[in-house]
C-alpha cells in the first residue's frame, strides 16, 4: 500500500486505532479524522505515524474545509474508511425517540458528507476504496432497536449506491465495500486486516459486496 493515502472518518475508537495500525503497517499514509482533540491525541500516541485532522463530519462546510486541508497536506486520497456509528436502543417501537434518531442519523449524515466530498478522489485513484461497517441488524431488525437498524440500513444502501457509480465510472479501479458484524468488540484487528486486503482484491470482487466479519 506504499504511496496510498487513506482517510479514516471517525478514527478515535478502538476499531479506528486498529484500522489505522493495520494500514500504516501495510505502508499506507493514514489521515485520521475525529471530532474531539483529546481522542485524536490519544490516537497519535497509540499510532504515531498517523496524520490527524479535527472535524465535525456532520457539518458539510467543515467537510469542505477538511477536503482542502487534506489535499494540501496529503494530496488526493485513495481510500475512505468510514467508522462513525454509535448505538442506541429504546426497548420497543414506541420507545424509539427522536433524540436517539438524531444521534444515530449522525452516522449516515457523516457518511453522505464524506463520500460526496471525496468521491472524485476515489474515482481518480488507481485503486480507490470505500468501506463501512454495517450491522447484522439490517437483515434482522428488532422493534427495540428500530432506529439503529434503520440508520445502518440507510448507510448500507448508500455505500452500495456508491458501488454502482464506481461500476460505471471506474470499473477497473474503484470499489465500495460493506463489512457486516454483529458485535465489533474483539474483531477490531480482523477489521484492520480485512480493510488492508481490499487493496489486493480485484475491484469487481469487492465492489458492492457485503462481507461478513465473524470471529476467526
Ligand atoms: N460496536 C459494535 O459492536 C458495532 C456493531 C456493528 C456495526 N458497528 C459499526 O462499526 C463502526 C465503528 O464502530 P465503533 O463502535 O468502533 O465506533 P463509534 O463509537 O461508532 O464511533 C467512532 C468514531 O466516530 C467519531 N465521531 C462521532 N461523531 C463524529 C463527527 N460528527 N465527526 C467526526 N467524527 C465523529 C468518534 O470520534 P470522537 O470521539 O472524536 O467524536 C469516534 O472516533 C460504526 O459504523 C458502527 O456503527 C459497530
**Selection from 44, 34, 29, 37 nearest residue 13 by Cα:** 34
pLDDT at 216 over 90: no
Q: Which atom of ligand 1 is nearest to the CA of 54?
A: 33
Render pLDDT for 197-215 as a digit per residue (tens, 0 to 9).
999 999 999 999 999 999 8
pLDDT over 90, % of the chain: 97
Render pLDDT for 147-196 as a digit per residue (tens, 0 to 9).
999 999 999 999 999 999 999 999 999 999 999 999 999 999 999 999 99
| Cα of 203 vs its chain's centroid, Å | 17
* Mean pLDDT of the region 75-103: 97
Cβ atoms < 10 Å from Cβ of 65: 13
Pocket of ligand 1 (CB under 6 A): 10-16, 33-36, 39, 55-58, 83-86, 106-107, 110, 133, 135, 181, 183-185
* Mean pLDDT of the region 112-124: 98
Cβ atoms < 10 Å from Cβ of 202: 9
Render pLDDT for 96-108 as a digit per residue (tens, 0 to 9).
999 999 999 999 9
pLDDT at 62 over 90: yes
Judged by DSSP in three states, 210 sits in strand
Interatomic CA distance for residues 37 and 114, integer angstroms: 19
Q: What is the pTM of this model?
A: 0.98
CA distances from 100 to 142, 146, 154 (A): 15, 11, 16
pLDDT at 1 over 90: no
Q: Which of 18, 20, 85, 104 to mutate to test the pocket of ligand 1 (most atoms within 8 A of CB)?
A: 85
Are the C-beta atoms of residues 104 and 147 closer than 8 Å to each other? yes
Q: Whose CA is nearest to atom 20 of ligand 1?
A: 85
**According to the model, what pLDDT value does residue 188 have?**
98
State in Å: Cα 99 to ligand 1 middle: 17
Amino acid at each position: 500500500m506504499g504511496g496510498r493515502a487513506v482517510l479514516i472518518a471517525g478514527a478515535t475508537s478502538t476499531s479506528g486505532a486498529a484500522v489505522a495500525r493495520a494500514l500504516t503497517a501495510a505502508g499506507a499514509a493514514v489521515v485520521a479524522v475525529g471530532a474531539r482533540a483529546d481522542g485524536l491525541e490519544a490516537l497519535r500516541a497509540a499510532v504515531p505515524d498517523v496524520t490527524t485532522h479535527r472535524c465535525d463530519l456532520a457539518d458539510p462546510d467543515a467537510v469542505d474545509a477538511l477536503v482542502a486541508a487534506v489535499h494540501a497536506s496529503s494530496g488526493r486520497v485513495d481510500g475512505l474508511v468510514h467508522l462513525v456509528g454509535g448505538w442506541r436502543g429504546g426497548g420497543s417501537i414506541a420507545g424509539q425517540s427522536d433524540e436517539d434518531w438524531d444521534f444515530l442519523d449522525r452516522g449516515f449524515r457523516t457518511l453522505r458528507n464524506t463520500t460526496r466530498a471525496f468521491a472524485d478522489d476515489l474515482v481518480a485513484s488507481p485503486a480507490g476504496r470505500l468501506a463501512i461497517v454495517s450491522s447484522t441488524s439490517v437483515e434482522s431488525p428488532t422493534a427495540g432497536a428500530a432506529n439503529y437498524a434503520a440508520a445502518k440500513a440507510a448507510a448500507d444502501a448508500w455505500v452500495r449506491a456508491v458501488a454502482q457509480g464506481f461500476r460505471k465510472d471506474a470499473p477497473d479501479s474503484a470499489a465500495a465495500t460493506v463489512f457486516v458484524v454483529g458485535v465489533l468488540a474483539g474483531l477490531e484487528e480482523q477489521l484492520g486486516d480485512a480493510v488492508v486486503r481490499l487493496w489486493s482484491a480485484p475491484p469487481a470482487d469487492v465492489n458492492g459486496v457485503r462481507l461478513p466479519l465473524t470471529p476467526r
